[in-house]
């Protein structure tokens, strides 16, 4: 028996409208890339409102392009403008918008979406080749824009909320981290902001983080040193699936990386091995529905887009990949966890629009 699914986009005209809107949105995200990379947002925030001539002079950019960008930003509703008596427009960042477009500490900061999109599109040729061959595109091939977008996108959440809103709310995690000499292992730290947040919140804790990507390790080590935590946070350049990784840890965790792994079972096996008997093992990954079902909500649409453009390609870049993709359903993680020797997984009652927290049960 087959079941036909209904589609929320009822008519072809509705689909056209949706796609034109998406195209405008995509181009606006690309314009955010320019605003970040050329220092146009920084200048508007730090030096104040500007005419195109002023913005171009301040940022060593071309006046004609600066004007086009400023007008485009105002048309999109990202900037405001006032016109003087001679007809010259001066553009400004509306109050509060710097949190979205400029302030790397703000949880509203989504400007890295520009780097994500541009980096994914820049690799579209490799993606098409992979779709044909069954190969992939490794994380490092996406380059600096992708790496820093990932790090900067999650940084405010890790810095401001990960510990007070999430980890410390899990009683056994809070107890483990509060004990003198607590040791934490983190898999796939990227830019290192989660490790920094944990070590900052728990001054007795020591963190060992394991990342496969050389450039991410360098970035994390830099951020750890800048945070003054070099004595308690160690970033290892290792494949976390390596069975030689040893240690005894009071908390083992992985944030937004299990779905990217080509061999999640080996890595979960490492996580199980590194945890002291009974120690909590926590995975944060994308919050998705239990089962596939078109039409998905906004986040599931976003996750499938990222999967096609980044995560599935990354996961499939190694031979014998589990080929997970960004939309890792709880049942998929449960299967990996059981294959790695865990008894089960438990979804923790912690609210977040994008992320789901799992405890892997010994």
Q: Which residues bind ligand SAM (CB under 6 A)?
A: 139, 150-151, 154, 187-191, 210-213, 216, 239-241, 255-257, 260-261, 267
Rounded Cα distance between 325 and 335, Å, is 15
* Residue nearest to ligand SAM as judged by C-beta position: 190
Query: What's the half-sphere exposure (Cβ side, CA atoms, 13 Å) at 32?
Result: 25
When the beta carbons of 172 and 213 are compared against ligand SAM, the nearer one is: 213
SS3 content of the chain, % helix, strand, coil (to 5): 50, 15, 35
Minimum CB–partner distance for residue 106 and ligand SAM (Å): 16
Minimum CB–partner distance for residue 330 and ligand SAM (Å): 19
Q: What are phi and psi of 283, to 5 degrees?
A: -120, 130
Minimum CB–partner distance for residue 174 and ligand SAM (Å): 21
Minimum CB–partner distance for residue 255 and ligand SAM (Å): 4
DSSP string, 5-18: PP-S--SHHHHHHH
Minimum CB–partner distance for residue 97 and ligand SAM (Å): 24
Whether omega before 106 lies within 30 degrees of 0, making that bond cis, reads no
Minimum CB–partner distance for residue 5 and ligand SAM (Å): 30
Minimum CB–partner distance for residue 211 and ligand SAM (Å): 4
When the beta carbons of 65 and 299 are compared against ligand SAM, the nearer one is: 299
Rounded Cα distance between 252 and 191, Å, is 18
When the beta carbons of 40 and 158 are compared against ligand SAM, the nearer one is: 158
When the beta carbons of 43 and 307 are compared against ligand SAM, the nearer one is: 307
- Helix boundaries (H) for 158-213: 171-178, 193-201
When the beta carbons of 252 and 257 are compared against ligand SAM, the nearer one is: 257
When the beta carbons of 32 and 217 are compared against ligand SAM, the nearer one is: 217
Non-local (6+) Cβ contacts of 291 within 8 A are: 329
When the beta carbons of 38 and 162 are compared against ligand SAM, the nearer one is: 162
Minimum CB–partner distance for residue 360 and ligand SAM (Å): 17
Asked whether 41 and 101 are in contact (CB, 8 A), the reply is: yes
When the beta carbons of 61 and 154 are compared against ligand SAM, the nearer one is: 154
Both tokens of 35, joined, read 């605003």
When the beta carbons of 79 and 227 are compared against ligand SAM, the nearer one is: 227
- In the beta sheet, which residues pair with residue 82? 90
Q: Tokens 């308690």 belong to which residue?
A: 232
Rounded Cα distance between 301 and 220, Å, is 30
Minimum CB–partner distance for residue 257 and ligand SAM (Å): 4
CA 288 to the chain's CA centroid = 15
Asked whether 256 and 286 are in contact (CB, 8 A), the reply is: yes
Rounded Cα distance between 178 and 346, Å, is 23
Going by C-alpha positions, the residue among 213, 318, 339 that lies closest to residue 269 is: 339
């Amino acid at each position: 028996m087959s079941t036909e699914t209904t589609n929320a986009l009822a008519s072809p005209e509705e689909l056209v409208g949706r796609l034109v809107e998406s195209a405008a949105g995509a181009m606006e995200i690309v314009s955010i890339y320019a605003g970040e990379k050329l220092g146009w947002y920084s200048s508007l925030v730090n030096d104040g409102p500007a005419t195109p001539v002023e913005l171009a002079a301040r940022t060593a950019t071309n006046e004609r392009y600066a004007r086009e960008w400023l007008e485009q930003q105002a048309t999109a509703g990202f900037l405001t403008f006032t016109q003087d008596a001679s007809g010259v427009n001066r553009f400004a960042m509306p109050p509060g918008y710097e949190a979205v477009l400029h302030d790397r500490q703000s949880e509203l900061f989504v400007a890295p979406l520009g780097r994500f999109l541009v980096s994914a599109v820049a690799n579209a040729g490799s993606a098409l080749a992979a779709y044909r061959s069954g190969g992939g595109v490794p994380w490092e091939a996406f380059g600096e824009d992708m790496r820093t977008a990932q790090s900067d996108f999650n940084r405010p959440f890790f810095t401001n909320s990960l510990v007070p809103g999430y980890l410390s709310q899990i009683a056994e995690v809070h107890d483990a981290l509060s004990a003198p000499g607590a040791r934490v292992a983190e898999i796939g730290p990227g830019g290192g902001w989660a490790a920094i947040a944990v070590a900052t919140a728990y001054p007795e804790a020591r963190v060992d983080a394991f990342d496969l990507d050389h450039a991410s390790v360098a970035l994390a080590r830099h951020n750890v040193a800048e945070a003054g935590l070099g004595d308690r946070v160690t970033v290892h350049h290792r494949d976390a699936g390596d069975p030689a990784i040893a240690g005894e840890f009071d908390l083992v965790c992985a944030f937004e990386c299990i779905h990217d792994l080509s061999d999640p079972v080996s890595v979960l096996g490492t996580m199980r091995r590194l945890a002291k008997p009974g120690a909590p093992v926590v995975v944060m990954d994308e919050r998705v529905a239990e089962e596939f079902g078109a039409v998905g909500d906004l986040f599931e649409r976003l996750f499938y887009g990222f999967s096609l453009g980044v995560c599935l390609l990354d996961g499939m870049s190694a031979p014998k990949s589990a080929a997970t993709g960004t939309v890792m359903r709880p049942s998929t993680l449960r299967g990996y966890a059981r294959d790695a020797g865990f008894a089960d997984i438990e979804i923790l009652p912690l609210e977040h629009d994008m992320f789901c927290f799992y405890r892997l049960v010994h």
